[in-house]
Structure 1
């Protein structure tokens, strides 16, 4: 089972380098209220993301990051230090859940595991790789559960 806590320093992986059960752990990202509000004002301007007072009376009971902010930070962590794929992280769909809100002060990391590899029948040299990516905070609480399907290329001949 491969583990790459710092994929930036590790070799880049092709299809032949992956196996079901391989695990990857990203670096971290500390989130504060200013980041939450800045993202929300631009992409999800709802009061529970932009206004701390309004957020206290909301479903969330306090300021919460947009789920899309958590997803964007997850992608940043995966690209920079999470899954060292040679041709990039190319998504083709998946399932996404946010079991609890991301809050100011949370320090995010992503733990990923290869759960399936299905070679393409029509495009030799590539496969659909299923992953399970969990975005956790500093207490190990799951903030996002993501099950993407990635297009992964084989090493060129």
Structure 2
């Protein structure tokens, strides 16, 4: 009986060690930057704009898009500012797969939050990244936008 208990304890400690060894970036991939605390060390890496995609205002400024970086968590995510009644997609894209095997994280947002929306994070240390987003109203695509990628967007 003691031997079984000791063996179980050894397995428990080994598993606990594996969890403790997880990096903040791996733990943060796919999670909300604000709920996780990663946004506490955020900075804007690069920014762009969402533009109207059709009609008489095609090409006009519609909203703002920013690629964010968390120094603490070594992650990127995308934030946008659009009309509060819009819904759509917020995406962060890496130039190559990260250590988790991921390259893209999508987040679908709904109306509300004053029009400020953000996607989940992706670990991206040392990997170039950019943001992409769409904004819809009713059933029509209203706008889309991306952030430029340059050396400051390469983790």
Q: Is the pair's TM-score, using the shorter chain for normalization, greater than 0.5? A: no
Q: Which has the higher contact order (CA 8 A, sep 6+)?
A: 1
Query: Which of the pair is proportionally richer in strand?
Result: 2
- Bigger Rg, which one: 2
